[in-house]
Chains A and B, each alone.
Chain A
Amino acid sequence: MHHTLIALVEDKPGVLNRVASLFRRRNFNIESLTVGRTAEEGVSRMTIVIDTDPAGAQRVGAYLNKLVDVLQVEELVAGVAVARDLALVKVTVGGHDKASLLRVVDETRAHIVDTGEQSMTLEITGEPPHVDAVIARLKPLGIIEMVRTGQVAMRRGDTALSATQYS
């Protein structure tokens, strides 16, 4: 089962390595891991999706908390969190495929971000299942290159996760 963990970490060299090393050493498989800035100075935010059971997710949270450079850890509960994934997909455009491709674009809120002579590149953003579904529809049309950012996520509602509430 997928679990989504948020880690607020020191924005320092080597921190990503420490976190990634932890998952490897403790034998957890990372489905996706994204890192980026936050609104707080010196604080980066990781969204980590792992495939494990609830006990495993609890263990990972505890191990993350032990890392000196990790400031705050939270497991997001599905349903009370917003999650987004972004994909860039380059699809071939043979003559008669183009119409079906444009139909997919139309029906799925995908954006055309680049057009070449033989291909078209689409941007798909949304909940990860939505991105999965769009990609599934594009596959028969001929995907020649694809990249996904991995999921970023945030608690719903007024409460916020912050590094300062920790110290």
Chain B
Amino acid sequence: MYCLRAHLVMPIRTGAQIIWECLVHEGVQTVFGYPGGAILPTYDAMLDYPIHHVLVRHEQGATHMADGYARAGGGVGVAIATSGPGATNMVTGIATAMMDSSPMVCITGQVPSKMIGYDAFQETDISGIALPITKHSYLITAVEDIMPAIKEAFHLAKSGRPGPVLVDITKDAQQASIEWEWDPAPVKIRGYRANAPVVKTDLIKAEALIRAAKRPVILAGQGVIQSGATREVLAFAERIGSPIAMTLLGLGGVPASHRLNLGMMGMHGEAWVNHAIQEADLLLAFGMRFDDRVTGNLKTYAPTAKKIHIDVDASEINKNVAADVGIVGDLRETLKDLLDFIKPADHSAWVAHINSMKGDAAVRDIQALPDTGHLYAAHVINDIWRITEGKAVVVTDVGQHQMWEAQYYHHDSPRSLITSGGLGTMGFAVPAAIGAKMARPEAEVWAIVGDGGFQMTQAELSTAAQEGVKVNIAIINNGYLGMVRQWQEFFYDRRYAATPLRSPDFLKIADAHGLSGFRVESRGQVNDTVQRARAAEGTVIIDFRVEQEDSVYPMVPAGADLDAMIRRPDNSVLAETGADKN
């Protein structure tokens, strides 16, 4: 009798406890955050729950860590902050996650509901601020609404096209108590449909275009990774013998070593890839969104190609590039269905033609050149690739080093490259790498970061030290905001306004945190130092003093035709990419 009754009475929980109960039920093990007045009830309750909280040094760091955690591990990242400045500090990280479709739930404290609208201390309308940079946002003022909001937030963040969701919860809602029990029912939101069912007639139309194609190119984007479609994309490519071009965020979604993988497209893509796209008669866009950085001038983009566009987000179809066949749906499911229709084809002559275009870069093969004593970022990154056997999870910052990473580190597995592509957020690498390492403790994690970007969020070294996580940080130190300097070199008559950059002694910074630091000034030192860094305990910094005025080639100037690339001058000691050798 007694037991029966005990079952019927629901336990009393505060809003703060409900937040943690929900996170536990959502399978959350790690959260990244920073406390403050409006979120204090939630922090107080935290100690009673089996969730690891990582104390960051700036809330932007919390969001990037949650983002890196999500991208590396495939789950949802969670970041927590207080109201006002805590919440606004998250904005950059939320926008970064939005642009790159990274699943994240941000929980912020808000001033008590009675004080909203009165400019209370640390009141800011974060759900309003976050509105255009989240998939959805909530302002929760009543304890009963906490569970539904958090459940919906997780559902929205990870389903369909993933993205960040913000849940702003007033302090009084955190403090209030109700009788409460976890509701295991699946989330239903009447205005939200994660996936549309695939329309069979579209598949039939697609098949006809595929059958007619002589020069197909698959454009593989991050959708390949997010829908787990690597196998299906490869099966498709192999079935029709189609070459594959990668977007920056797609890298790793198809193994770089696969014979049909041409490499990266776009502004700093391989020359032969951009030429192949311009010559193609069919583009198969798989989970990519024709960003301006990959298309160049839309008016002259792939002029002879029909386009089949598969994306989970209907609003991407016909947004930048008109699709002859647009299919809205999960990429993996769609390809599985499509494969039923597709007959084998042979496009080896087309592939051979594309491969022959590699030749002009190959004569200037970087790897074949003798050591001239100079240290080039391309060498460093290619060496790190070789030494780590391509198996590391690499997190980059934004700038020249990011593009060199994409060109010289060859990714063979999904979720092995984490980079801020859409927003291009400097300061991303160090915190995102910490997050990635926490999601995948067994993985070797490298942050490849510029001297500029490193200084934007270097405070998170302290977080890494406190957590005892090991991230290998390669600072590609060129003494410049290099990518901006490159634009100034090409387009602003070499007027280096505000791009020369003085940096602190990075080894002392490492030392101040009790971390190891190394410096590399010539190519001969790279191998040994990288090995020592890998062996060292805890997070390490390597300060690579690379050539200062090197540029990333090829380059499609913003808005130019995709095949109007600035090529590395012929007399340069450097070839354009590490793949030149192959």
Which residues from chain A sit less than 8 Å from chain B, CB to CB? Answer: 9-10, 14, 17-18, 21-22, 25, 55, 58-59, 62-63, 65-71, 163, 166-167
List 24 contacting pairs A-B, 8 Å CB cutoff, sorted by A: A10-B191, A14-B127, A17-B128, A21-B132, A25-B132, A55-B322, A58-B318, A59-B315, A62-B314, A62-B315, A62-B317, A65-B314, A66-B314, A68-B156, A68-B189, A68-B191, A69-B191, A70-B191, A71-B190, A71-B191, A163-B190, A166-B190, A166-B191, A167-B190
Instruction: Please name all residues of chain B whose beta carbon is closer than 8 Å to the beta carbon of A163 when the two chains form the complex.
Output: 190
- Give the secondary structure class of B's interface: loop
Contact B318 A55 (CB under 8 A): yes
Rounded to whole Å, the gap between the CB of A19 and the closest CB of chain B is: 11
Instruction: Please name all residues of chain A whose beta carbon is closer than 8 Å to the beta carbon of B131 when the two chains form the complex.
Output: 17-18, 21
Instruction: Please name all residues of chain A whose beta carbon is closer than 8 Å to the beta carbon of B319 when the two chains form the complex.
Output: 59, 62
Whether, in the assembled complex, B275 has its beta carbon less than 8 Å from a beta carbon of chain A, the answer is: no
Whether, in the assembled complex, B13 has its beta carbon less than 8 Å from a beta carbon of chain A, the answer is: no
- Between A59, A67, A68, A166, the greatest number of chain B beta carbons within 10 A of the residue's beta carbon is seen for A68
Set B128, B189, B313: member contacting A66, Cβ < 8 A: B313
Q: Which of B98-156 contact A (CB under 8 A)?
A: 127-128, 131-132, 135-136, 139, 156
Rounded to whole Å, the gap between the CB of A118 and the closest CB of chain B is: 41
Whether, in the assembled complex, B192 has its beta carbon less than 8 Å from a beta carbon of chain A, the answer is: yes
The residue in chain A whose Cβ has the minimal distance to the Cβ of B313 is: A66
Rounded to whole Å, the gap between the CB of A139 and the closest CB of chain B is: 39
Instruction: Please name all residues of chain B whose beta carbon is closer than 8 Å to the beta carbon of A68 when the two chains form the complex.
Output: 135-136, 156, 189, 191-192
Rounded to whole Å, the gap between the CB of A100 and the closest CB of chain B is: 50
Bound-state CA distance A58–B192 (Å) is: 19
- Between B132, B191, B319, the greatest number of chain A beta carbons within 10 A of the residue's beta carbon is seen for B191
Instruction: Please name all residues of chain B whose beta carbon is closer than 8 Å to the beta carbon of A62 when the two chains form the complex.
Output: 314-315, 317, 319
The residue in chain A whose Cβ has the minimal distance to the Cβ of B315 is: A62
Instruction: Please name all residues of chain A whose beta carbon is closer than 8 Å to the beta carbon of B318 when the two chains form the complex.
Output: 55, 58-59
* Pairs of residues from A and B, 9 with the lowest C-beta to C-beta distance, nearest first: A62-B315, A68-B136, A71-B191, A167-B190, A25-B132, A68-B192, A62-B314, A68-B191, A63-B315
Bound-state CA distance A20–B322 (Å) is: 26
Bound-state CA distance A10–B315 (Å) is: 21
Instruction: Please name all residues of chain B whose beta carbon is closer than 8 Å to the beta carbon of A21 when the two chains form the complex.
Output: 131-132
Rounded to whole Å, the gap between the CB of A29 and the closest CB of chain B is: 17
Rounded to whole Å, the gap between the CB of A54 and the closest CB of chain B is: 11
Set B135, B156, B190, B315: member contacting A65, Cβ < 8 A: B315
